[in-house]
Amino acid sequence: MTVIGLTGGIASGKTTARKMFEELGAYTLDADELSHKTLHQKDVYQKLLEHFGNGILDKDKKIDRKRLGKIVINNKKELKFLESVVHPKIAEMRDAFIENVKKKDKDAVIIYDVPLLYEKKMENMFDTIIVVYVDRKTQIKRIMERNKISEEGAEKRLKLQMDIEEKKKKAQIIIDNRGTLDDTFKQVKNIWDKTIKGG
Ligand code: ATP
């Protein structure tokens, strides 16, 4: 079994590349999705509510990620608390997923999409790491289009993460997602055939 970390910057194309690997036969997992799922778990829900209060709930009494995000975005102490509750749960779900795949397919390739892989120093968890790269200008353009926000807003989001050029330098494998989706698929297919399946 091979476990590959997939990372990049905001809107660099991680999801796009992950889905392409999935089409080729990889088992895939997304850290963001797991983190959203934890908010529905009873013990996480209770701990967060106790700590942050009712203000983090929406009208259906579900945890509102935007409200939670606003509290932790500029408050390191609160972010640390949130991570201390959520991260062990993400790790549990991730390990259960890997164990399950391992049982049914010993030759499986798992692609785990972790946006903050380098920021959280998770390099050692993986057999290899792929960075989905776009230059900063393209990244800003895609954030603005997808999130319908201003250039200033996009810049602000980028500042919260490690520079994508830094990530590119650290990567074992790079997917250049500046071109068309077709260009990206060709690279993904090549990596899958030659590097992953070809040994
Ligand atoms: P995030 O982690 O911020 O959610 P991401 O890295 O998973 O983003 P995607 O969701 O794959 O990135 O792509 C970001 C946006 O850019 C999407 O709107 C997607 O449709 C668009 N996009 C991705 N790749 C390309 C491409 N090669 N050409 C044009 N648009 C693209």
Residue ranges covered by each domain of the chain: 2-196
Q: How many angstroms is it from 86 CA to the middle of ligand 1? A: 25
Site residues for ligand 1, CB cut-off 6 Å: 8, 10-16, 115, 142, 146, 177, 180-181, 184
What DSSP string describes 139-156? HHHHHHHHHT--HHHHHH
Confidence of residue 49 (pLDDT cuts 50, 70, 90): very high
Rounded Cα distance, 195 and 127, in Å = 12
Confidence of residue 137 (pLDDT cuts 50, 70, 90): very high
CATH architecture of 2-196: 3-Layer(aba) Sandwich (3.40)
pLDDT in tens, 174-187: 999 999 999 999 99
> Could you tell me the two tokens for 124?
């050692």
User: Does the structure show a pLDDT above 90 at 74?
Assistant: no
Residue of 32, 146, 178 to test ligand 1 pocket, by largest number of atoms within 8 Å of CB: 146
pLDDT in tens, 82-120: 999 999 999 999 999 999 999 999 999 999 999 999 999
